Amino acid sequence: MVRLSDVAEKAGVSAATVSRVVRGEGKVGDKCRAHVKQVIAEMGYRPNINARALASKKNEIIGVITPNVTQAFYGALVTGAENAAQQVNYRVMLNNSHNQIDTELDAISSFRENGSQNIVYHSNVASNEQLINLAKEIQGLVVLNRYIPEIAHRCVWLDNTAGGRLSVKHLIDKGHRKFVFLASNQDLQDPVDRLKGAKGALLEAGIPWLEENVGYIMPSIDNGMKGISQLLERKCEFTAVVAFNDSLAIGAMNRLQDLGVKIPEDVSVIGFDNTDICKACRPQLTTTHYPIAEMAKYATELSLKLTTTDEIDSTKTHLYLPHVYERDSVATRSAC
Amino acid sequence: MVRLSDVAEKAGVSAATVSRVVRGEGKVGDKCRAHVKQVIAEMGYRPNINARALASKKNEIIGVITPNVTQAFYGALVTGAENAAQQVNYRVMLNNSHNQIDTELDAISSFRENGSQNIVYHSNVASNEQLINLAKEIQGLVVLNRYIPEIAHRCVWLDNTAGGRLSVKHLIDKGHRKFVFLASNQDLQDPVDRLKGAKGALLEAGIPWLEENVGYIMPSIDNGMKGISQLLERKCEFTAVVAFNDSLAIGAMNRLQDLGVKIPEDVSVIGFDNTDICKACRPQLTTTHYPIAEMAKYATELSLKLTTTDEIDSTKTHLYLPHVYERDSVATRSAC
DNA sequence: TTGTACGCGTTATCAA
DNA sequence: TTGATAACGCGTACAA
């Protein structure tokens, strides 16, 4: 491995000078710089990252914490972050936390020990207090998919209330008036907000909210099937099902089809997220698009900005709006 | 940040001793060790990873290179690797190469500059020569999903030929004799091997191989739909479709259903990989299981072994066998 | 079993 | 604009 000092010796300058041209900082004479660059190219020198990190206490690493990249949603998240990282030659360190707070905290410690100040953190288990405290300590920490007023300018999140409202409004516009909801039973804000939005859309349209028409379950295809069965047993009447996410929607859809219900002719179904599986089912799933890849990309850019510039506007948060992505699982209901 | 020397001072021992107990190596007196550990706990000391990496020229990082974790298959791959890494307190650095050889090579350089000797590399674009040369230079490089005889003991791969054979044999056992194939047009060994296995199974059963019954396309749901349409236009006769992967299978299945063909009553469909989307479609997809998560886990364990012990058997490769995972898209065909 | 002393490859603070 | 020189925090021969 060729070192900085090797380059310096061959170029006939000091190590300090080479360091300056490598980093592109400090004053260096034009022809001196050109010469050094030449030698660097000739020798194929590449800086030792660990030595650099040790001396500067910085490292070009962006840590990404996510429950589990096996799930399409989080895969898209990581891809978005990695995309932004590649543009500035940063590396991404990944942690699958499996929703274990200890694992998440440990990953954060580890990232920091590696000299990384840049962390994009999606947590379903950390408390607001924990996040606020971490944000104080870690300059480049960005909280993804969550809104915490105290650190609003460090949050990149989706307007889930609007999402819930849009989903339902889309169905109302198509003539539906009898709904059933497959909600998440996870102790998170997202499910609450989406339901709140849904409720709002209903009230606006003068449709009563029936709590008995809501099933709370852990999101998965299998549970979507179970959930819709339970709703059916309760003798809920509906022409549309609104699901917390795509998996639940697809489970519901498939179970209904098994029972001879035609989608979307008899019942319309709408999902949430717009993950890849929406194209696998039949009919293809109409869903509310969650631009997670873009959001993750933006979040890592924000993290970078947080650690490199002072001009951050701490009075502003970063809120994304979802929109309905139409496929084939929702149909117009002429009469009701 | 509390340093090694801080601990040493407070404990009244030398830095070298603290270093020994931290690493659990070298001889240290029992009560001395206990005392130092006590102080470490009290002070909340954690080693500086960069300093350690600089001094030892090693870093506890495992690099994972994959085309794109947005795809479920690669998401599972990364999860498997991360799983193994967590067990030994290693961190994973991720690179989405998007099948760009430059990106892959760059990632490798970067990993090495970070002091990592451990790399799990899935490449669709690197040549065998490149891989062989890299393996020479990088002690802990493991090639995933590919077999290169010269570095057989560094390869963790699937028997794709057996996979192709098993898929078709499963269908033959169910009474099918007329097949159509949706193959990949990617310039890789996997598609070739799977087709070879399929052909073998056919010949064993005395069924002729019809090259015109094979469609070569880039794997995706959309292309599965297009592919089966093309085969239909060619007036191929078949009672079963064998797809290179799950996406193609699902595309084919859905298009057939659109045309009024009943799956599996009229036509059976089998996929490959056993990714999450198999449960999203209707009927759920019977497929050939590719144990990618386990393989990736094993691959990173192998990489670790390669860099820590000398007792590696270089006469042995690491070959996994796929198996048919039955769901609902394949049915028995009584007469033909 | 424990301690000393030097090196790892950079960055950064001074002088020059 | 350039060059010494001291950190950075730890690992590791070697000596004790």
What pLDDT was estimated at residue A335?
A: 55
What pLDDT was estimated at residue A256?
A: 97
Strand D at less than 7 A from CB of B20: yes
Cβ contact, residue pair A276, B277, below 8 Å: yes
Q: pLDDT tens digits, chain A, 336 residues: what are they? A: 899 999 999 999 999 999 999 999 888 899 899 999 999 999 999 999 999 999 999 999 999 999 999 999 999 999 999 999 999 999 999 999 999 999 999 999 999 988 899 999 999 999 999 999 999 999 999 999 999 999 999 999 999 999 999 999 999 999 999 999 999 999 999 999 999 999 999 999 999 999 999 999 999 999 999 999 999 999 999 999 999 999 999 999 999 999 999 999 999 999 999 999 999 999 999 999 999 999 999 999 999 999 988 888 888 999 999 999 999 999 998 754
The SS3 of residue A64 is strand
What pLDDT was estimated at residue B335?
A: 55
SS3 of B47-86: CCHHHHHHHHCCCCEEEEEECCCCCHHHHHHHHHHHHHHH
Distances (CA, A) of A242 to A48, A239, B135, B277: 53, 10, 52, 21
**B:95-124 residues touching chain A, CB 8 A cutoff:** 95-96, 103, 109-110, 113-115
Rounded Cα gap, residues A147 and B252, in angstroms: 42
A 1-40, residues with C-beta < 7 Å of strand C: 1, 3-5, 15-16, 19, 22-23, 25
Which of B74, B127, B75 lies closest to B105, judged by CA?
B127
Rounded Cα gap, residues A266 and A251, in angstroms: 16
Distances (CA, A) of A288 to A166, A327, B5: 8, 10, 55
A324 touches chain B (CB under 8 A): no
CA B234 – C1' D7 distance (Å)? 75
pLDDT at B336 over 80: no
B51 touches chain A (CB under 8 A): yes
Strand D at less than 7 A from CB of A150: no
**What is the pLDDT confidence band of residue B179, given thresholds at 50, 70 and 90?**
very high
Tell me which DSSP letter residue B282 carries: S
Q: Are A250 and A281 in contact (CB under 8 A)?
A: yes
Q: Looking at residues B119-129, what average pLDDT do you find?
A: 97
Q: Looking at residues B224-228, what average pLDDT do you find?
A: 98
Per-residue b or e along B12-49, where b marks 16 or more CB atoms closer than 10 Å to that residue's CB: ebeeebbbbbbeeeeebeeeeeebbbebbeeeebeebb
Long-range (24+ apart) CB contacts under 8 A made by A210-213 are A210/A236, A212/A236, A213/A179, A213/A180, A213/A181, A213/A238
- Peptide bond preceding B283 in cis form (omega within 30 of 0): yes
By Cβ distance, the residue of A93, A221, A222 closest to B92 is A93
